[in-house]
């Protein structure tokens, strides 16, 4: 019985370790996919997306370069409740005219720990490197007095700004337009759980083997005890 116990423990430990190793490989595949997504070169916004086009999945987290000019500074908006580096603050978001018309893309200039008077906007044409993001879904409403909103809800802001807004927004990674604010951290890039699925399946398979080993240990052990008691009786 002692040999049986030792063998069962060894098999169980081996199955747990092998499963954890395969799970680590799965996590590595996920991280590699996220890193590869971040390496995509920034493309001109006009080559990927137009003002009257919907925000497709291929645009989410896509690095782009935006050429345009800022709308007046008093039309900037604070997006509250944004957490960064363990603190809760607000994004400063400004409309940027793209092209020669009045089509505007909402661009997050930076993050502030508190809502203050909006800083001036850069004069003249600007080129901004940014990351595209889909607008938020929710019931956040815009306060025109404080120019605050609890999320980047494009439909709500369309009724408050006299421009044709793009159906998504961008988070600037260009420090020269941040007006001294911290650059906002874009949301993490989502990766499908199926990336590295084979290794995840292997991990589950090893743990199933471990469960089966426990069952067999219990079954053999109880049978041996029953036989021994029968002999004694």
Convert the pLDDT of each residue in 135-189 to its tens digit.
888 767 889 899 999 999 998 898 888 889 999 999 999 999 999 999 998 877 6
Cα three-residue angle 181-182-187, rounded to 5 degrees: 130
- The pTM (predicted TM-score) of the whole model is 0.69
The enclosing H or E element of 207 equals: helix 197-232
Cβ(32)–Cβ(184) below 8 Å = no
pLDDT (0 to 100) of residue 102:
80
- Of 19-33, 127-141, 183-197, least confident by mean pLDDT is 183-197
What is the spatial distance between Cα 153 and Cα 137, in angstroms, rounded to a whole number? 6
Crossing angle, helix 197-232 and helix 2-38, to 10 degrees?
170
Q: What is the pLDDT of residue 35?
A: 67
More confident position, 189 or 30: 30
Strand bridging mode 77-84 / 164-172: unpaired
Query: Given 3-state DSSP classes, what are the helix, strand and coil percentages for the chain, each rounded to the nearest 5?
Result: 40, 25, 35
What stretch of H or E contains 189? none
Question: Which is nearest to 105 in space by CA: 47, 56, 163, 147?
Answer: 163
**pLDDT value, residue 109:** 97
| pLDDT tens per residue, range 52-90 | 889 988 888 889 999 999 999 999 999 999 999 999 999
- Environment class of 48 (CB within 10 Å of its CB; exposed 0-12, middle 13-18, buried 19+): middle
How much of the chain, in percent, has pLDDT values that exceed 90? 53
């Amino acid at each position: 019985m002692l040999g049986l116990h030792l063998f069962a423990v060894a098999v169980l430990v081996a199955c747990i370790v092998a499963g954890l190793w395969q799970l680590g490989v799965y996590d590595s595949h996920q991280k590699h996919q996220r890193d590869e997504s971040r390496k995509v070169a920034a493309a001109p916004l006009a080559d990927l997306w137009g003002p009257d086009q919907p925000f497709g999945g291929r645009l989410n987290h896509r690095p782009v370069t935006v050429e345009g000019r800022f709308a007046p500074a008093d039309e900037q908006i604070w997006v509250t409740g944004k957490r960064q580096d363990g603190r809760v603050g607000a994004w400063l978001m400004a409309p940027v005219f793209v092209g020669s018309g009045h089509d505007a893309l909402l661009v997050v200039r930076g993050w502030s720990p508190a809502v203050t008077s909006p800083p001036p906007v850069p004069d003249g044409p600007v080129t901004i490197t940014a990351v595209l993001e889909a607008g938020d879904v929710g019931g956040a409403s815009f306060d025109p007095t404080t120019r605050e909103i609890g999320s980047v809800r494009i439909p709500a802001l369309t009724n408050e700004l006299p421009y044709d807004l793009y159906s998504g927004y961008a988070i600037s990674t260009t420090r020269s337009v941040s007006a001294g604010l911290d650059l906002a951290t874009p949301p993490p890039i989502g990766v499908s759980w199926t990336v590295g699925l084979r290794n995840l399946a292997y991990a589950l398979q090893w743990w199933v083997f471990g469960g089966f080993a426990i069952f067999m240990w219990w079954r053999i052990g109880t049978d041996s005890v029953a036989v021994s008691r029968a002999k004694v009786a």
